[in-house]
Chain A
């Protein structure tokens, strides 16, 4: 019978190594323009892939989530701050959920 603590330790070690190895080993600026471009696009691709379609299932109600999604798009395009966009989309979901 394995203890829960040993599982937590295994998980923590594996996950931390994945995170720490590139950050500690890569110490020079990458010169290759292709790799630089790739790394420049990585966060946009990652965040977009994580946001959609997951955002539609982020609350208990898909209609409410869709309204929150639209709210976030409009405010983000208007360059509102991270906090404003996040809080407003939550508030919209909360209100819509009261009616659906």
Chain B
């Protein structure tokens, strides 16, 4: 399970995620109240879903009173990438870890928390995850609350610059490894190029961001594992 130091380490590593989440969920809070949700409903959605694209896209369906099946399908498609991440994390935890902590870790499978957890050196301890998840979820809920309550009185300049936090953190996670391992650098560059193509090319740009991430990840990671399979060691 880990010890108190793992928990503290998780909390510390969650600070950049928390900052980035406040910026993004602040925007969500504003949009949610504009869509007619109460402050309580907006925060409840954030704390139970903990996902950006899924929540933003749900608002339109709520406003238009879409069917539940449509809502379920939309969330499934947008969030399918978490299945890939959850699979990767299953290899990162102790194989004899019981169900309960697994269910706890599962709550926090988001792009950002996954990124930090997956590349954490060594075995992933549940207590480290709990530290990471609690502070991140706090930021996500807090940002939603502030956006819903005071969206129009906060200085936009401050909110705007916080948007960089998450991406800065991603680069800090992947670049040190990419610098020393050529295949990783090739994966990083190919994924960025492919994602840019998907973002701007006609037809391809109509694919939702959730699917885009799945497609790019699967193609690039599959190609890399064919061309440069990792050595048979315990890493």
Chain A positions near chain B (C-beta within 8 angstroms):
1-2, 4-12, 14-16, 18-24, 26-30, 33-55, 58-61, 64-65, 68-69, 71-73, 75-77, 79-94, 97-98
Pair A11/B71 contact, Cβ less than 8 Å = yes
Bound-complex Cα distance A94 to B95 (A): 45
Q: Is the interface of B mostly helix, strand, loop or mixed?
A: helix
Size of interface on B: residues with Cβ below 8 Å to A: 107
Pair B195/A48 contact, Cβ less than 8 Å = yes
Known: A18-B83, A19-B85, A49-B216. 8 other contacts (CB 8 A): A14-B76, A15-B50, A19-B83, A26-B87, A27-B95, A64-B161, A90-B161, A97-B157
Bound-complex Cα distance A15 to B44 (A): 14
Residues in A whose Cβ lies below 8 Å from that of B190:
45
Pair A69/B72 contact, Cβ less than 8 Å = no
Chain B positions near chain A (C-beta within 8 angstroms):
12-13, 15-16, 19-20, 36-38, 41, 44-45, 48-51, 54-55, 58, 61-62, 65, 68, 71-72, 75-76, 79-91, 93, 95-96, 99, 102-103, 105-107, 109, 111, 114-116, 118-119, 156-158, 160-179, 183-184, 187-192, 194-196, 199-200, 212-213, 216-217, 220-222, 224-226, 228-230, 232, 235
